[in-house]
Amino acid sequence: TPRVFSGVQPTGSLHLGNYLGAIRRFVAMQDEFPCIYCVVDLHAITVWQDPKELIEATYHVTAAYLAAGIDPVKHIVFNQSRVSAHAELAWVFNCVARMGWLNRMTQFKEKAGKDRENASAGLFVYPTLMAADILAYQATHVPVGEDQKQHLELTRDIAQKFNHDYGDRLAELGYEEGLFPMTEPIIQGPATRVMSLRDGAKKMSKSDPSDASRINLTDDADSIAQKVRKAKTDPEALPSEPKGLEGRPEADNLVGIYAALAGQTKEEVLAEHGGAMFSAFKPALADVAVSVLAPINDEMRRLLDDRGHLDQVLTSGAERAAEITAPVMQAMRRVVGFVG
């Protein structure tokens, strides 16, 4: 049966990249599939999180999900640490995945930086926890930004190796198809990789020390306009076709953001704005950003004033999530040979 799973880390201020690359796509999938959207707090602590800030960020992501239009009654919204299947299955997957596979993960290399000896062991095995998140629900589709593509490939490798290593046992117990599905990443649209406003070679990121590099979901209209005005660009006018954006990463990024926000293709944006200088295009971009983000921002504020409601959403979500994982975990235990 088809099922969608995805998550966002409660690690700071959500930005336009998280919204366009992930959350907006989560909303779009609700009509077609049963969806499970997680606030991945276990992932967050792979790098140090102040406990009080982690709590705040967990509510913040929950509010952003709801404000963006995720329905927590028809679908499931919860925080990862409340459902023990994630950590339990991650352990088994730590024993399925190979060191060599994890050594190739570019996100670990980026996040660990030069001081690899001092990175947490959790940061290294981050992708096995992500595989567990997805496969504990036997999820078939995972909407994510481009940066998560490699982790999704690893998830498939882990599912395949598990199904293969335990093949005889699975057949004996009647799971001829294997226990875990080959999950499809859903990486689509004009903004699967939103870049920093200060550097067209870096992705927009929560952990960038420069707040001017990103548009936060909670920025007001003035700061959005100011950040867009100050965004790095080149001195040329906009081309009239997308191929004119080649070799112009900052221009390409702003056109891509505009397209995603306005629900247009880059061709359509350039058909309208081709020939314009950035001094004219930037205010138009700020306007469309404000028109999309202001209602989300207002709704987030309203939701964050009612923690009781958010708690109730997360509690109900965790209960329903745990019910889905229970038979999968029971099957996993029998397959592996855990008594009990």
Give the residue numbers marked as catalytic. Answer: 111, 203, 206
Contact with ligand AQP (CB under 6 A) among 56, 147, 153, 299: 147
Are 59 and 99 a contacting pair, CB within 8 Å? no
State the minimum distance, in angstroms, from the CB of residue 203 to ligand AQP. Answer: 4
Binding residue count for ligand AQP, defined by CB under 6 A: 19
Contact with ligand AQP (CB under 6 A) among 3, 11, 62, 281: 11
Give the CA dihedral 322, 328, 334, 339, nearest 10 degrees. -10
Does the annotation list 34 as a binding residue?
no
| Helix extents (H) in the chain | 16-18, 24-29, 41-44, 51-68, 85-94, 99-103, 106-112, 121-124, 126-135, 149-165, 167-172, 221-230, 249-262, 266-273, 278-304, 307-336
Contact with ligand AQP (CB under 6 A) among 3, 4, 5, 9: 9
Question: Which of helix, strand or coil describes residue 79?
Answer: strand
Contact with ligand AQP (CB under 6 A) among 82, 161, 169, 193: 193
Residue in the shown chain whose Cβ atom is closest to ligand AQP: 21
Q: At what angle do helices 266-273 and 249-262 cross, to 10 degrees?
A: 100
> CA-CA distance, 172 to 135, in Å (whole number)?
21
Is 80 near ligand AQP (CB under 6 A)?
no
Does the annotation list 146 as a binding residue?
yes
Q: Which is nearer to ligand AQP, 262 or 335 (CB)?
A: 262
CA angle 92, 141, 75 (to 5 degrees): 95
Structure tokens at 226: 């100011």
Q: Which is nearer to ligand AQP, 98 or 202 (CB)?
A: 202
Task: Name the one range near ligand AQP by CB under 6 A: 198-206, 218-226, 234-242, 323-331.
Answer: 198-206
| Residues of the shown chain interacting with ligand AQP in the complex, contacts defined by CB under 6 A | 8-9, 11, 17-18, 21-22, 144-145, 147-148, 192-194, 203-207
